[in-house]
C-alpha cells in the first residue's frame, strides 16, 4: 500500500524511501557526508528526506544552454555527442562548436503535443551536416526494420533506448543480450528480404525508401 505522499509521487521512483532508484546516491560517500551535514542524521535514519535530497541533487532543475558546451570542451578532452537535435540550424551550430556527433532525437518531445518526429527531420539534417559530423538516430527504435529505415535516411547508427531494458528486467544480462541479438537478426532479415546486400550507404540509402502520406 502507498502512503498519501507516495501516492502523489508514485510515478517517480526516486522519491521512494526504500532505495528504488536512489541506490547510487545512498552509497556515494560524498552525498552521504553532505546529507548528514545538512540534516544531522545518517541516511538510514531518515530515508524519505534522503530520497528527496538525492532527487533534488540529480534533477537540479538548472537550465542548460549552448554556452555550457564551452565548459564541457574545456574540462572533457574526449568526444562530445549532443543528443536531442531536431533542426538543421541546431545541427549546424553543433558543427561550429566542435561537437564530434549529434543524436537526432525528440527525447522529451512527448511533453509537447504534436512535436515533430525524429525520422521526419533526419534527412534534412543529414544533408546539412552529415559530411562534417557523425549523425546518430534515436526515438522509437523497437525493431530491426526501424533501424534499417533510419540508416537508409542517413543515420550512421541507432540508439536503442528501451527494448534492452525490458530484456534486462526480464532476464538480466542474458535478457539484454537476447534483445540486442534479436534486433540485429531483424535488421539483417529486413535487408535480405529487401534485396539489400549490406548496410553500407552504397546499398542502404534513400533509393530504397518510398515516402507515403496517409492524410
Kindly name the residue from 39, 64, 107, 192 that is annotated as catalytic: 107
Residue 148 is assigned to a structural domain of this protein = yes
Tell me if 13 is assigned to some domain.
Answer: no
Cell of 36: 548528514
Read off the CATH number of the domain in which 180 is found. Answer: 3.20.20.70
* Residue 2, in any domain of the structure: no
Whole-number pLDDT of residue 6: 46
Are residues 151 and 124 part of one domain?
yes
What cell numbers appear for 13 in the block? 521512483
How many angstroms separate the CA atoms of 73 and 81, rounded?
11
- 0.85 surpassed by pTM: no
Domain count along the chain: 2
At residue 209, the pLDDT reads 85
- Nine-digit cell at 167? 530484456
Provide the pLDDT for residue 211.
Answer: 73
Residue 88 falls inside a structural domain: yes
Same domain, 196 and 96: yes
Residues 49 and 111 in one domain: no
Residues 6+ apart with CB under 8 A from 138: 83, 103, 104, 105, 107, 118, 158, 159, 161
Q: Tens digit of pLDDT for each residue in 88-134?
A: 999 999 999 999 999 999 875 456 667 788 999 999 999 999 999 99
The CA–CA distances, whole Å, from 111 to 52, 85, 100, 107, 117 equal 23, 16, 28, 9, 13
d(CA 88, CA 94): 10
- Residue 158, strand partner residues: 137
Task: Answer whether residue 42 is part of any domain.
Answer: yes
Q: Are residues 74 and 117 in the same domain?
A: yes
Statement to judge: residues 49 and 91 lie in one domain: no
Residue 7 lies in a domain: no
The answer to whether 192 is a known catalytic residue is no
- Residues pairing with 157 in the sheet: 136
Residue ranges making up the domain that contains 111: 67-208
In a domain, 4, yes or no: no
Residue 43 lies in a domain: yes
3-class SS at 121? Answer: helix
Q: Give tens-digit pLDDT for 123-164.
A: 999 999 999 999 999 988 999 999 999 999 999 999 987 898
Q: Give the pLDDT confidence score for residue 2 in this predicted structure.
A: 41
Q: Are residues 190 and 92 in the same domain?
A: yes
Residue 178 to residue 180: CA distance in whole angstroms: 5
Amino acid at each position: 500500500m502507498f502512503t498519501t505522499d507516495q501516492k502523489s509521487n508514485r510515478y517517480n521512483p526516486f522519491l521512494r524511501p526504500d532505495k528504488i532508484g536512489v541506490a547510487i546516491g545512498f552509497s556515494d560517500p560524498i552525498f552521504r557526508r553532505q546529507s548528514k551535514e545538512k540534516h544531522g542524521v545518517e541516511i538510514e535514519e531518515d530515508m524519505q528526506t534522503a530520497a528527496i535530497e538525492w532527487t533534488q541533487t540529480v534533477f537540479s532543475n538548472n537550465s542548460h544552454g549552448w554556452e555550457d558546451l564551452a565548459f564541457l570542451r574545456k574540462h572533457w578532452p574526449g568526444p562530445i555527442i549532443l543528443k536531442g537535435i531536431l533542426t538543421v540550424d541546431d545541427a549546424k551550430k553543433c558543427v561550429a562548436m566542435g561537437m564530434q556527433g549529434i543524436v537526432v532525437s525528440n527525447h522529451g518531445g512527448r511533453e509537447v503535443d504534436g512535436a515533430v518526429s525524429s525520422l521526419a527531420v533526419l534527412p534534412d539534417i543529414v544533408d546539412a551536416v552529415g559530411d562534417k559530423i557523425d549523425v546518430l538516430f534515436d526515438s522509437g527504435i523497437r525493431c530491426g526494420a526501424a533501424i534499417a529505415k533510419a540508416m537508409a535516411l542517413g543515420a550512421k547508427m541507432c540508439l536503442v533506448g528501451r527494448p534492452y531494458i525490458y530484456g534486462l528486467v526480464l532476464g538480466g544480462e542474458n535478457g539484454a543480450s537476447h534483445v540486442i541479438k534479436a534486433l540485429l537478426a531483424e535488421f539483417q532479415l529486413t535487408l535480405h528480404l529487401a534485396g539489400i546486400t549490406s548496410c553500407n550507404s552504397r546499398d542502404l540509402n534513400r533509393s530504397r525508401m518510398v515516402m507515403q502520406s496517409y492524410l
